[in-house]
Every structure is written in C-alpha cells, then in structure tokens.
Amino acid sequence: MLKRLATDHQNRIEEEAPQLLGIGTEPEFAIGQRALLVQSPTGNLLWDCITLLDDRTIAEVNARGGIRAIAISHPHYYTTMVEWAERFDARIFLHTADREWVMRKSSRVQFWEGETMRLWDDLTLINCGGHFEGGTVLHWPAASRGRGSKGALLTGDIIQVVQDHRFVSFMRSYPNLIPLGPAAISHILKAIEPFPFEQIYGAWWKANVLSNAKDAVRTSAERYLHWISA
C-alpha cells in the first residue's frame, strides 16, 4: 500500500514554526492532516502521524535528528504509526483509554494512564477526552515565536482551530456535526488550565492560533456553551 501511495503522492515538508516541522501528504490523502515534528534538545517527538513514509521524508527527518518517540492525539491519526516507529527506532505513546482502537499490536506501543504524562525537556501529554475518551494534547513549553512566548499546545482536532484562527471549537463527531456536551467542554478546560501557552498548532496546515491562544480557548468555550444551552 505504501509503495502504491508513493507513486502519485509525496510529502510536503515545511517549517510551521522554529523547531516545528510540518509533514503532510499531497495531493491530500484521507482527511488531509499533517504531522508535526517537535525538535527538542534531548530527542525529537513526532506529534500525530500520516500514512506516507518515503525516502525523502526519512532523510529530512534524520537530518533534524530523527524521532525519539511518537505521540498521537487520538485514533483517527494512528495510521502507519508502527511503520514510522520501526523505521526510526521510536516508541509510541498512546492513552490507555483508546487501547481498543489499536488494530495492530506492537511492542513499540506504550500505553499511559491518568491525566498527564511528562516526557523529556518538559514536554507533557495531557488527557483531555473529547471525541475520544483518550483524546490527548501536547504541551510544548519551549515553543518560540517572538519575545515573551509562553509555549504552545499541539491539539490535533481535540481542540479544533476554526477558520478565522482567533477561535476554536469542540465536536463529538466532525463528519456528522455533532457537538460535545457541557461536561466534556469543562473537562477539556480543566485539563489544560495549569499549562501556560500562547499558540495552538492544530491538525492541518496553518490551522494555528499564533497569539493569545489560551484566552482564545476560554472565550470560545464560553461562546460555545452559551449557544448550545440557548
């Protein structure tokens, strides 16, 4: 399958921010998400995953120090995570609440439990729930985009950046446009509250909030809760 995909697709590799490399397939494949390589002093973390892994992508990633581990926000992005992990000799971190959705067993998969998992260089996985019980975001405190940056959240679509990039939203089912309920929204807000962040990097190219992101989440949640209760 990967060889067939590579005949008419290739990966776009582009800096999303300093030390943050976006990797996404063109023409778009599946739902069109892109992965993010967080470059960190004691090891790089691949956040989320895409299907296509070709020689050019391997070379680009290796030129930046390879991959120490892979962490994935939720099962929609599991895709070829095992192939990526084997190629880069990496571990895969998944929240145990989503264990049932892992279709291919591998010794590289490490399930974690609880509300947070601290990695290296202060990278932290945060269980938020959302449209999967094990839905996870990544806090990256070393994110740098100008003076006074307070770090970033990498959210997949657990917290979904909307089109004007000043707000976010939350859904139980994106294909069916079913919203999350108030309890789930409150859980997300509570989970991320202890963590300072100025930016959000979402699941698609340029689906990012580049300033005042924590306020954007809070304001968006207030607006969302108002209208679903109206």
pLDDT at 25 over 70: yes
Mean pLDDT of 57-75: 97
Model confidence pTM above 0.85: yes
How many percent of the chain have pLDDT more than 70? Answer: 98
Within a 10 A sphere around the Cβ of 53, how many other Cβ atoms? Answer: 23
Partnered with residue 110 across adjacent β-strands are: 93
Is 55:64 a contact under the CB 8 Å cutoff?
A: no
Per-residue pLDDT tens digits for 26-52: 998 888 899 999 999 999 999 999 999
Can you say how many angstroms the Cα of residue 73 is from the centroid of all Cα atoms in its chain? 5
pLDDT at 101 over 80: yes
pLDDT at 72 over 80: yes
What residue spans of the chain are helical by DSSP H? 2-6, 55-63, 81-88, 182-192, 213-228
Is 12:5 a contact under the CB 8 Å cutoff?
A: no
pLDDT at 147 over 60: no
Superfamily classification of domain 2-228: Ribonuclease Z/Hydroxyacylglutathione hydrolase-like (3.60.15.10)
What the block records as the tokens of 217 is 């989440």
Give the pLDDT of residue 4.
83
- Apex 108 CA angle, 133 and 203, nearest 5: 45
Higher pLDDT, 148 or 87: 87
Is 79:92 a contact under the CB 8 Å cutoff?
A: no
Q: To the nearest whole number, what is the mean pLDDT of the chain?
A: 94
Per-residue pLDDT tens digits for 78-99: 999 999 999 999 999 999 999 9
Give the pLDDT of residue 146.
56
Which DSSP string corresponds to 138-193?
EEETT--SSTT---EEEEETTSEE-TTSS-EE-EEETTTTEEPPHHHHHHHHHHHT
Give the pLDDT of residue 174.
85
Within a 10 A sphere around the Cβ of 88, how many other Cβ atoms? Answer: 19
